[in-house]
Structure 1
Amino acid sequence: MIGFTLRRLVLLLPVFFVVSLVVFFIIHLVPGDPIDNLMRAGSTPEQRLQIAAKYGLDRSLVEQYVTWMGRLLTGDLGTSIIQGRPVSALIARNLPYSLELGIAALLFSTLTGIAAGVIAASYQGTRVDDSITCFILLGSTVPSFWLGLLLILVFAVWLGWVPVSGARGWSSLILPTIAAGLGGIALVARVTRIAMIETSRQDFVTLLHAKGLPPFIIQLRHVLRHAMVPVVTILSLRIGWVLGGAVTIEYVFARPGLGSLLIRALNQRDYPLVQGCLLMLAMAVIIGALIGDIVQAAMDPRQREARA
Structure 2
Amino acid sequence: MLDQVAGITRVRMLYLQLAYKCNFSCAHCFHGELLRSPENFSVVEAQALLDHFIDVYQLEEVTLLGGEPLLYPHIVTMCRYAKERGLTVEICTNAHPGFRGKVRAAAPYLDHFRVSLDGLRDTHDRMRKTGSFDGAVAMIDLARELGVQVGATMTVTRHNLDEVVSLGVLLQEHGVADLKLHALRLVGNARLHPDLEVVDPSRYGDLHAKINAAGLSIKVVYDSDLLPQPPGAACSNLVAGGWLDRIEADPRGGLTVSCKAVGKDVNAFRWDKQRQIIRYEPRENDEFALGIPDVNYQTVTAG
| TM bracket, shorter-chain basis | under 0.3
Q: TM-score, normalised by structure 2?
A: 0.23
Bigger share in helix = 1
Q: TM-score, normalised by structure 1?
A: 0.23
